[in-house]
Amino acid sequence: MRKMAVAMAKGGVGKTTTAVNLAHGLASRGQRVLLVDCDTQGQVARFLGVKPSWGLYEFITERRPDGKAMSRNDAVFPARENLWILDGGIRLVELKNWLGEQPRQMRQTVLAHKLVPRQGALDFLIFDCAPGWDVLSVNILMAADEVLCPVALQGPALQGLKTFFRYLQSAQKLNPDLRLNYVLPTMYDRRTRHSQDVFEQLKKYFNRQLCNPINYNVRLCEAPAHGKSIFEYAASARGARDYRNLVERILNHGHRQERHT
């Protein structure tokens, strides 16, 4: 099973869009995927048009908000064929408090110990990470072994990447198996010089990890409002083609695919 964190220090770079479309794209290819929403905004369920009763908080604590015990399996929600989710949302604030109360020697690895499916049950475990750095962020990077970092080709893109690099280096001291395998340029607008300049800088520093860019596409912006992935909402749109390229590259363990423009 591959364990991948979709993470970036800066918000608004397309993390949830990437996590949802990557997860559904992999599931559509027959891969069994669990997508874990680690953000208090809880957007994964909304992007997929579903309303789970429980989520990551209940899965980890094995308690409902009213204090009653529950099975962890009850928190895992079937969102699509081959695709399950653990919902995020505001209850993650309580989860962070709960994690902070655990013994020091284990509080950073709770997710790694709890999120262990039976042998052969899953092919991918994907974390949709919130921006920032806290006890839950550390837990995610202790549980993952691959990082996919979306970088918006708008504004001060590289500053957010530098900040995330510091987080990653701290995490690698505790989890030496963790690797930044994919840098994904998002919101690429080939009409602007800025997008091209930032893309060239990424190519200079991350040529091996650099993925084909996700072009700015209005259909990608519209799909979440309809509770659909881009593959369901507009399968022939440029955004769908871009995310298919990403799915192919990840299935090929990072080997570059031909660009489909």
Q: What domains are there in the chain, each with its CATH number?
A: 2-251 (3.40.50.300)
Rounded distance between C-alpha atoms, residue 242 and residue 261, angstroms: 8
DSSP 155-172: SSHHHHHHHHHHHHHHHH
Residue range 100-117: average pLDDT?
91
| pLDDT confidence of residue 10 | 83
Give the pLDDT confidence of 118-156 residue by residue, as tens digits. 888 999 999 999 988 899 999 999 999 999 999 999 877
Comparison of pLDDT for 117 and 20, the residue scoring more: 20
CA distances from 101 to 92, 104, 205, 239 (A): 14, 8, 40, 42
pLDDT at 254: 58
Q: Can you list the positions of beta strands (E) in 39-93?
A: 77-80, 83-86
> Looking at residues 189-210, what average pLDDT do you find?
90
Average pLDDT, the chain: 92
**Mean pLDDT lowest among 1-5, 75-79, 146-150, 161-165:** 161-165
Backbone φ, ψ for residue 148 (5° rounding): -115, 120
The predicted model gives 224-253 an average pLDDT of: 97
Q: Is the confidence at residue 193, as pLDDT, over 60?
A: yes
- What is the pLDDT, as a whole number, of residue 259? 47
132 or 101, higher pLDDT = 101
Could you tell me if 4 and 147 are in contact, meaning their C-beta atoms sit under 8 angstroms apart? yes
Q: Check whether 162 has a pLDDT greater than 90.
A: no
For the whole prediction, is pTM greater than 0.75? yes
**Cα(212)–Cα(189) distance, rounded to whole angstroms?**
13
Strands 179-186 and 33-38: unpaired
The answer to whether 137 and 170 are in contact (CB under 8 A) is no
| pLDDT value at 113 more than 50 | yes
256 has pLDDT over 70: no
